Amino acid sequence: MPSTTPTELKSPTAQSAVVDSTLSAEGYKKSLSGRQVTMIAMGGAIGVGLFMGAGGRLASTGPALIFSYAIAGVIAYLLMRALGELIMYRQTSGSFVSYAGEMFGKKGAYVSGWMYFINWAMTGIAELIAIGLYFQFFFPNVPVELTAIAALLLLVGVNLLSVKAFGEFEFWASCLKVGAIVIFLAVGTFMVVTNAQVGDGNASVNNLFAAEGGMFPKGALVMILVLNAVIFAYNGIELVGITAGEMQDPAKEVPKAIRAVVFRIVVFYVGSVTLLAMLLPSDQYVAAPRRSSPCSARWALPGWATL
């Protein structure tokens, strides 16, 4: 095998090859670290599906929702392991769209790409509206539209700066989300352990079985039917694959990120829903924004101020 001579290293072709080693196959700069990718995926998944949707689903499903989130978590784990195998095969910012094109042809890539675009176009609208509703919860005089547009401009602005700036912004924003969940888990566990007063009752494990029918007040079939909405809550964990092409060391960081993301999100979701079902009987939840959040809705419940 011929070796590279000093003269060849000085040639424009060799120099460009050295520079290009810091770029992805599509020309993107590899600036994202493992911690940033992990938190981007976690922050992307922890959103409307948990903060706003859990209460409404508890009202329609009952404590059996815990099993729905656990089942969806297993499905998410299997899908992420499969995606991880593809990423280790070839890192690309096109992720599964690129893989679909390679294995199923241009039509497969076309369908996959547009379906993913439509998915995030619709999800993005839901996320922005949720931001506006939560901001309005604390600041009633601020219009939902104003907060949603401000959040959109902020996100787009950070994206336009650089990959590194976006990764760092998403890292700290995701830390805030994760911190909110951790605080809720800690406070909720304390309330259950101390049998604290919540509304007209008390936080207790017995609330899991308080309704007629125990943990399945609406029947076992509803637990399966609600999976469609529950799986929506896990939307975003695939960002590990999307960002793999811009990671500094994907071969090392991707397996760690996939294991960490799936495990932690399942713990957060299943743990949060379990605590919600223990804080109040499921029939006391309603599908309304101000009573559906496992975090902000706690401040509005009678009896919380006495804790």
Summarize the confidence of residues 224-230 as an average pLDDT: 86
Tell me, what's the pLDDT at 149? 92
Q: What is the pLDDT of residues 65-87, one digit of tens each?
A: 889 888 988 888 888 888 888 88
What span, in angstroms and rounded, lies between the C-alpha atoms of 251 and 91?
9
User: Within 13 A of 27's CA, how many CA atoms are on the CB side?
Assistant: 0
Summarize the confidence of residues 263-271 as an average pLDDT: 80
Query: Can you give the C-alpha Rg of the chain in angstroms?
Result: 23
Residue entry with tokens 């969940």 = 181
User: Whose CA is closest to 266, among 12, 108, 46, 102?
Assistant: 46
CB 283 within 8 A of CB 209: no
CB 256 within 8 A of CB 36: no
Using DSSP's 3-state secondary structure scheme, residue 23 falls into: strand
Tell me, what's the pLDDT at 25? 55
Q: What is the pLDDT of residues 201-225, one digit of tens each?
A: 888 888 888 777 788 888 888 888 8
Summarize the confidence of residues 52-68 as an average pLDDT: 83
User: Whose CA is closest to 261, among 50, 77, 54?
Assistant: 77
Which of 2-6, 67-71, 181-185 is predicted with the least confidence, judged by mean pLDDT?
Answer: 2-6
Identity (one letter) of the amino acid at 23?
A: L
Centre a 10 Å sphere on the Cβ of residue 240 and count the other Cβ atoms it contains. 30
Per-position DSSP letters for 125-145, written without gaps between them: HHHHHHHHHHHHHH-TTS-HH
Tell me, what's the pLDDT at 295? 45
Using DSSP's 3-state secondary structure scheme, residue 197 falls into: strand
Tell me, what's the pLDDT at 201? 80
Q: Which residue has the higher pLDDT, 5 or 264?
A: 264
197: exposed, middle or buried (Cβ count in 10 Å: 0-12, 13-18, 19+):
middle
Using DSSP's 3-state secondary structure scheme, residue 198 falls into: strand
Count of residues in the chain: 307
Q: What is the pLDDT of residues 273-304, one digit of tens each?
A: 888 889 888 777 776 544 444 444 443 443 33
Q: What is the pLDDT of residues 92-137, one digit of tens each?
A: 767 778 888 888 888 888 998 899 889 888 888 888 888 888 888 8
Summarize the confidence of residues 160-176 as an average pLDDT: 83
Among the ranges 71-75, 255-259, 266-270, which has the highest mean pLDDT value? 71-75
Q: Which residue has the higher pLDDT, 51 or 2?
A: 51
Tell me, what's the pLDDT at 300? 41
In the chain, % of residues over pLDDT 90 = 3
In the chain, % of residues over pLDDT 70 = 80
Examine the pLDDT at 10 and tell me if it is beyond 60: no
Tell me, what's the pLDDT at 150? 92
Distances (CA, A) of 93 to 152, 203, 242: 23, 46, 5
To the nearest whole number, what is the mean pLDDT of the chain? 76
